[in-house]
Structures are given as structure tokens and as C-alpha cells.
């Protein structure tokens, strides 16, 4: 595991500087420490094909050690197996489990899709959250899983079929146009937006941060606003939506919410999920320090209802906000 000083040297200089602009030095150290080494392999049990007890028994037979995740009974953290090793197991081949980061499991849990609801997953590939929601709904209801990129859309179809998520319809199209096509149609919408991926950076793996730039952040923020508007348009009155990213900067997170409050009149809902990590205490309800530059007190209080998960040995960095349509 690298030291925080070594992590600073390896990551893009502008990225590190922006962290210090937006966070306290203590929080920056936590973030950089969470990027200093490999993350544990984590998985979700596919309850459409198996159950957690059967999966745990199978892992024990294969001498794989694991911990259960307290805040999500279908999730496991593996202690002595890589993703490549897991992919050789019958459990994986059969679709009984899905390799998924713990942070990635949070947005569907916050959205809380229920049986017989109509759900939109606006930018769905590779299908981690899509198939998780289908399992939460016990394959009762309807999920439209949209993806623009053709190759990623094929991967999405493959995962949906492998997980036997039979209520999912896969659509290859522009997320920006879905709102007009399905105006006021969906009970709930998940927008896990394309982002700069800062929460996934690992200092010893250059491909996780090689493509990052301040220009890319700005361009993605413009796209996120278009997708947000489309997602919100597709939502029924009184419907609920989750906006999430796996990045850490304000432009793609708090600033998007600010824009949506001012331009779309959104209302944020408090998030009631207790994600704790003994090693880092990596869940943050947004504090006033991190939001003080963004406007009037009432708006600050609204934005503070979102949550941030800091990178750690077990979690990628994530931002999650829950929205209700007036």
C-alpha cells in the first residue's frame, strides 16, 4: 500500500489541487488513503437465481473467506479472492452472483424500487444496478434500461439475460431524448450519470485516472444536466429519482443539484441508509464547509440531504442524491 505522499505524486496534479480546494486536509488524506491500494473484491447475490446462504456455502467449499455487509444482506466482501478467481467459479458462470462494488449498490437501495412499479435506468450499462433493481422487485414490474453506446448496450443485454432479469427491456438510444418519449411515465428513475470517475482512482493503476482532465469534468457536467432534465421529465408527479455519480468534484455533484433546484424546481429527500466502514468512517452527510460556496442557506440545506461515500479499501467514492418530483 502506498503512502499518502506517494499517492499525491502519482495522481494528476490538478486533481489533487482541486481536492484541497473543496475538502478539509483531513478529508483529503482520507480520500487519498482510499486510493492507495487495491480494493477488496465485492459481490451481490442474485436472489432471482440463488440466496445468500447457498452462495456462502459454495464460497466456503472453495476456501474463499468473506464478510457479510451489515447494511445490505445480499452483499459480501471477499478476503482472499480476486475478481479473476471468482469468474472461474460456477457461481459466477451461472449468474448466481454479480461482481459489483459496494458503493454501486447504494443508489438502487436509496431509490427503493418495488414490485409492479415502472422504473427507468437512464444510463444503464453494464447492468449492475439494473439487475439489482430487478432482483429487489422480484421480477415483477417493468424496467427500461437505456444505453447509448452500442458495445456497452450488448454487454448490458448479456448481463440482464445471464441474471434472468426478465422484467428488463434494453434500449439503445440517447438518454437526452427519453424524457420526451416517456414524459411523466415512470414511477421511479435512476440516473447513475456518466462521470469523470474520480471515486474509482487507484494510484497504482494509471488507467483509472489517465483520461481525467478539468476539460473532461466540464464537458461531463454539461451532459449530466441534459440527462438530468430528461430523467426528471420522464418521472411521474410525486415520483422519485436518484442522481448518482462515482466522482468527487462539486461540478458533477453539488453544482448539478444546485442547477436542478434553480432550473427544474426539484426537492431533495433525506437519505436513510447507514453505511459505515470501521476503517475509514467513509460515509459523509454533506457538511456546511463543503457546501458553503454554493448559495443561499435554504439551498445549502437542501443540497446537504445528499450523501458522499469516500474511497476506501472496500468502497469506491460515490455521490448519491434522492429527489422527489413536485
Check residue 291 and give its pLDDT: 36
Check residue 284 and give its pLDDT: 52
Check residue 286 and give its pLDDT: 47
pTM score, whole prediction: 0.93
The whole-angstrom separation of Cα 289 and Cα 287 is 5
Q: Which of 121, 239, 270 is nearest to 191 (CA)?
A: 121
Check residue 154 and give its pLDDT: 98
Contact in structure between 161 and 187 (CB atoms under 8 Å): no
CATH 3.40.50.2030 fits 4-39+102-324, yes or no: no
Check residue 273 and give its pLDDT: 80
Check residue 236 and give its pLDDT: 98
Each domain of the chain, given as residue ranges in start order, spans 4-39+102-324, 42-99
Per-residue buried b or exposed e for 145-159, using 16+ beta carbons within 10 Å of the residue's own CB: bbbbeeebbeebbeb
Series of mean pLDDT values for 10-residue runs along the chain (326 residues): 94 97 94 95 98 98 96 96 97 97 96 98 98 98 98 98 98 98 98 98 97 98 98 98 97 96 95 61 44 44 89 94 94
Known catalytic residue at 153: no
Query: What's the helix, strand, coil split of the chain in %, to 5?
Result: 40, 20, 40
Residues 133, 246, 307, 320: which is the catalytic one? Answer: 246
Q: Tell the CATH topology of 42-99.
A: Alpha-Beta Plaits (3.30.70)
Amino acid at each position: 500500500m502506498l503512502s499518502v505522499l506517494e499517492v499525491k505524486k502519482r495522481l494528476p496534479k490538478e486533481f489533487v489541487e482541486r481536492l484541497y480546494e473543496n475538502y478539509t486536509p483531513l478529508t483529503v488524506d482520507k480520500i487519498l488513503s482510499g486510493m492507495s491500494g487495491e480494493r477488496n473484491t465485492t459481490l451481490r447475490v442474485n436472489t432471482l437465481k440463488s440466496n445468500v446462504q447457498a452462495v456462502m456455502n459454495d464460497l466456503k467449499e472453495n476456501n474463499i473467506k468473506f464478510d457479510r455487509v451489515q447494511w445490505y444482506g445480499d452483499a459480501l466482501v471477499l478476503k482472499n479472492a480476486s475478481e479473476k478467481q471468482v469468474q472461474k467459479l460456477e457461481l459466477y458462470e451461472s449468474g448466481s452472483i454479480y461482481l459489483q462494488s459496494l458503493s454501486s449498490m447504494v443508489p438502487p437501495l436509496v431509490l427503493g424500487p418495488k414490485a409492479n412499479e415502472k422504473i427507468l435506468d437512464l444510463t444503464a450499462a453494464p447492468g449492475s444496478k439494473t439487475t439489482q433493481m430487478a432482483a429487489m422487485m422480484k421480477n415483477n414490474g417493468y424496467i427500461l434500461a437505456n444505453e447509448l453506446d452500442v458495445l456497452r448496450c450488448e454487454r448490458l443485454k448479456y448481463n440482464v439475460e445471464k441474471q434472468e432479469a426478465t422484467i428488463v427491456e434494453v434500449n439503445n438510444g440517447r438518454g437526452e431524448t427519453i424524457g420526451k418519449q416517456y414524459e411523466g411515465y415512470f414511477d421511479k428513475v435512476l440516473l447513475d450519470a456518466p462521470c469523470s470517475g474520480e471515486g474509482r482512482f487507484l494510484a497504482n493503476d494509471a488507467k483509472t485516472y489517465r483520461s481525467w482532465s478539468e476539460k473532461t469534468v466540464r464537458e461531463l457536467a454539461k451532459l449530466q444536466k441534459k440527462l438530468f432534465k430528461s430523467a426528471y421529465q420522464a418521472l411521474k408527479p410525486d415520483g422519485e429519482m436518484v442522481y448518482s455519480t462515482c466522482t468527487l468534484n462539486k461540478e458533477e455533484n453539488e453544482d448539478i443539484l444546485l442547477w436542478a433546484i434553480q432550473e427544474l424546481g426539484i426537492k431533495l429527500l433525506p437519505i436513510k441508509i447507514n453505511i459505515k466502514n470501521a476503517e475509514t468512517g467513509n460515509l459523509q452527510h454533506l457538511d456546511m464547509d463543503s457546501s458553503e460556496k454554493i448559495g443561499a442557506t435554504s439551498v445549502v440545506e437542501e443540497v446537504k440531504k445528499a450523501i458522499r461515500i469516500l474511497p476506501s479499501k472496500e468502497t469506491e467514492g460515490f455521490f448519491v442524491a434522492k429527489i422527489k418530483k413536485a
